[in-house]
């Protein structure tokens, strides 16, 4: 492969390496996947490129670290527009992260036993299934950790919970689907609001500041006051976007990104849409190109969108009925689609985003794949790094967690066989052919060095998050079981929350 020369001369502020022009090692398709911050940088002319990670911004220069470990500084004005935008967004994200860490540290200083934050949406603060709670017990008693409380009255459904500022949000069906708010300390009901659907809900509400957004199984989207439940606005995917209800209903957990609500109606003219969080007005809707309507069952899938900056372009990545897609955040332009992992029945797991990479999987023997997002002018293309057949790695539902470069999940269709995969290579580190403590699909969450597997039959297992070997540490059967235990476990504030249809159980995991 031809080596690409790229450098920086500090005095002139040009994009040349310090002192002399040095050659850059060829970029391997997946070799840098373990470092999520490594990306391709381009100068204003488009002629010079470098593979590096953003370290910091000092004196108007971006400090970049190359794969070999040496650092170079480049004037921000000499970087391409997309790179400059990436720097702004990344530094803003880091400032927000530092602020969050400071708040968490302050909580610890006041005597908190865990460095957790809120769990304001589906799969946690970053939509990745990773809890920030620490100081948790590393072994459970045979009967399980202490039960702090349990409450009834939530109605039927498979929704998980969101937790923010001392309140728990979920949804359940009584006569109709309702958005429910509980007190975090004891589970006491504070209020409930009507969504209107007549089927068991599966999506998790999203809390953003003083509002909460929920989507029911019939495509009713409600935005309400998070303190009182007062309706602010609502939409219906069928009436407002011409969408068809999927076989098992809309299962999305809507994404809130700043002042926008990102949702997935799944219609040809509005495969995805951005709505103003205050008014519900449509900011943009994305049409699905005809060539992207490939294999799969079409329409909305049963997944939820995540944010990616792959290829230097902010975009929303979602698993649809036709496969994984990327939609530009700025204006809703359809960027790319990948249908190889789509099945014709139900596409469910939330994709994993990591730097320029997207890891995606589906059940029904469809398989899994690692994609690399590459800039193409003002657009982005998805390149397949590798594909794994269903017998090697698939996830029906229950989700996947990426931790330290390794993907953990349940494997096989409608099974929760524990498995660990190295994301950058697709190598199976362990598992895949051994049944865990429970049966059926397994929903998983990472917390304090371990993975919590919640099986369809209700059993809960604690498995160490290590690529070295499969290490089952503890297991227990919760006090309540009713139907399939599909709601994802939540760990926040040192507590484990398990939703089981009409009942919510809260276990204390603190040492």
CATH of the domain at 44: 2.30.30.700
In this prediction, what percent of the chain has a pLDDT beyond 90? 75
Alpha-carbon gap, residue 204 to 18, rounded angstroms: 51
34 pLDDT band, cuts 50/70/90, is: very low
Q: Is 453 exposed, middle or buried (0-12, 13-18, 19+ CB in 10 A)?
A: buried
* pTM for this predicted structure: 0.79
Q: Given this model, what pLDDT does residue 296 score?
A: 86
Of residues 59 and 383, which shows the higher confidence score? 383
506: Cα separation from own chain's centroid: 23
* pLDDT confidence band for 96 (50 / 70 / 90): low
Query: Rounded distance, CA 304 to CA 246, Å?
Result: 14
- Stretch 28-51: mean pLDDT: 66
**Total of domains in the chain:** 2
Distance, CA of 347 to CA of 341 (rounded, Å): 9
Contact 510, 447 (CB under 8 A): no
Domain that includes residue 327, residue range: 306-391
Q: Flag whether pLDDT at 14 surpasses 60.
A: no
Q: 97 φ, ψ to 5°?
A: -65, -40
pLDDT at 418 over 60: yes
Cβ atoms of residues 89 and 314 within 8 Å: yes
Instruction: Tell me, yes or no, whether 377 lies in a domain.
Output: yes
DSSP 41: E
Q: Report the pLDDT value the prediction gives residue 3, as an integer from 0 to 100.
A: 36
d(CA 89, CA 466): 32
Write out the H or E segment, with its range, that includes residue 22.
strand 22-24
Residues constituting the chain: 511
Shortest CA distance to 117 belongs to which of 505, 507, 498, 491? 491
Q: How confident is the model at residue 99 (pLDDT cuts 50, 70, 90)?
A: very low
Question: Does residue 209 lie in a domain region?
Answer: no
Backbone angles phi, psi at 112, to 5 degrees: -65, 140
Which among 88, 121, 136 is the end of a domain? 88
| Spacing of C-alpha 259 from chain mean position | 19
Q: How many angstroms separate the CA atoms of 493 and 117, rounded?
A: 7
Mean pLDDT of the chain: 88
Question: Is 28 domain-assigned?
Answer: yes
Give the span between the Cα atoms of 76 and 58, in whole angstroms: 10
The answer as to whether 224 is a domain residue is: no
User: 256-281 as b/e, with b when 16 or more CB fall inside 10 Å?
Assistant: beeebbbbbbbbbebbbbbbebeebe
- Cα angle: 92, vertex 95, 97; to 5 degrees: 110
pLDDT of residue 477: 97
CATH assignment at residue 329 = 2.40.10.480
Q: Who has greater pLDDT, 9 or 230?
A: 230
pLDDT per residue as tens digits for the range 146-177:
999 999 999 999 999 999 999 999 999 999 99
72 vs 315 pLDDT, higher one: 315
Residue 495 lies in a domain: no
Q: In whole angstroms, give the CA distance from residue 360 to residue 327.
A: 16
> Computed from CA positions of residues 53, 55, 61, 66, in that sequence, does the dihedral angle turn out positive or negative?
negative
- Indicate the pLDDT class of residue 391, thresholds 50, 70 and 90: very high
What average pLDDT does this structure show over 69-93? 83
* pLDDT per position as a tens digit, 219-274: 999 999 999 999 999 999 999 999 999 999 999 999 999 999 999 999 999 999 99
If you average pLDDT over each of 86-95, 283-292, 486-495, which comes out highest? 486-495
Model pLDDT, residue 291: 81
Phi and psi, residue 203, nearest 5°: -80, 155
- Find the mean pLDDT for residues 324-347: 96
Q: Which residue, among 215, 118, 209, has the nearest Cα to 171 in the 3D structure?
A: 215
Q: Over pLDDT 70: what percentage of the chain?
A: 87
If you ran DSSP here, which 8-state letter would residue 224 be given? E
Q: Distances from the Cα of 72 to the Cαs of 45, 63, 69, 485, in angstroms?
A: 19, 6, 10, 52
Q: Does 126 map to a domain?
A: no
Please indicate, yes or no, if residue 222 is contained in any of the structural domains.
no
> Does the pLDDT value for residue 21 go beyond 80?
no
pLDDT, tens digit, 9 for 90 and up, residues 104-145? 333 333 333 333 579 999 999 999 999 999 999 999 999 999
- Alpha carbons 361 and 397: distance in angstroms, whole number: 9
Domain boundary among 88, 106, 133: 88
Domain boundary residue among 359, 391, 423? 391
């Amino acid at each position: 492969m031809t080596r690409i020369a790229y450098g920086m001369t500090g005095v002139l502020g040009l994009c040349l390496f310090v002192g002399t022009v040095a050659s850059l090692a060829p970029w391997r398709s997946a070799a840098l996947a373990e470092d999520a911050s490594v990306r391709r940088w381009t100068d204003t002319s488009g002629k010079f490129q470098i593979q590096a990670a953003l370290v910091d911004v000092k004196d108007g220069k971006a400090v970049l670290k190359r794969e070999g470990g040496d650092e170079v500084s480049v004037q921000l004005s000499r970087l391409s527009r997309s790179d400059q935008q990436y720097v702004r967004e990344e530094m803003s994200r880091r400032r927000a992260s530092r602020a969050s860490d400071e708040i968490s540290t302050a909580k610890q200083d006041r005597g908190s036993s865990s460095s957790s934050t809120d769990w304001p949406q589906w799969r946690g603060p970053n939509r990745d299934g990773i809890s920030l709670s620490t100081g948790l017990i590393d072994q459970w008693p045979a009967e399980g950790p202490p039960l702090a409380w349990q409450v009834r009255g939530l109605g039927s459904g498979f929704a998980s919970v969101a937790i923010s500022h001392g309140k728990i949000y979920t949804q359940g069906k009584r006569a109709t689907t309702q958005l429910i708010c509980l007190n975090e300390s004891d589970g006491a009901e504070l209020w409930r609001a009507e969504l209107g659907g007549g089927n068991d809900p599966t999506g998790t509400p999203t809390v953003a500041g003083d509002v909460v957004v929920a989507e029911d199984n019939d495509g009713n989207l409600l935005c309400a006051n998070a303190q009182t439940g007062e309706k602010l606005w609502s939409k219906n995917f069928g009436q407002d976007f011409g969408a068809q209800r999927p076989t098992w209903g809309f299962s999305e957990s809507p994404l809130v990104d700043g002042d926008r609500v990102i949702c997935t109606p799944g219609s040809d003219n509005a495969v995805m849409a951005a709505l103003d969080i205050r008014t519900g007005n449509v900011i943009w809707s994305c049409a699905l190109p005809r060539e992207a309507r490939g294999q799969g069952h079409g329409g909305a899938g049963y997944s939820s969108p995540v944010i990616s900056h792959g290829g230097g372009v902010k975009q929303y990545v979602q698993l649809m009925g036709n496969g994984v897609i990327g939609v530009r955040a700025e204006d809703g332009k359809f960027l790319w689609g990948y249908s190889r992992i789509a099945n014709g029945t139900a596409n469910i797991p939330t994709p994993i985003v990591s730097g320029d990479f997207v890891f995606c999987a589906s059940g029904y023997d469809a398989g899994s794949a690692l994609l690399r997002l590459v800039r193409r002018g003002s657009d982005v293309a998805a390149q397949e790094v590798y594909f794994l057949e269903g017998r090697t790695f698939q996830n029906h539902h229950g989700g996947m967690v990426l931790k330290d470069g390794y993907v953990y999940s349940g494997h096989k269709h409608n099974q929760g066989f524990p498995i660990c995969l190295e994301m950058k290579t697709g190598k199976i580190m362990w598992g895949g052919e051994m049944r865990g403590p429970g049966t059926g699909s397994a929903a998983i969450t990472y917390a304090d060095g371990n993975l919590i597997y919640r099986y369809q039959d209700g059993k809960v297992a604690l498995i160490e998050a290590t690529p070295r070997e499969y290490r089952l540490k503890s297991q227990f059967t919760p006090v309540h079981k009713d139907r399939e235990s599909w709601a994802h476990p939540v760990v926040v504030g040192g507590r484990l929350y398990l939703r089981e249809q009409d009942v919510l159980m809260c276990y204390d995991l603190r040492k």
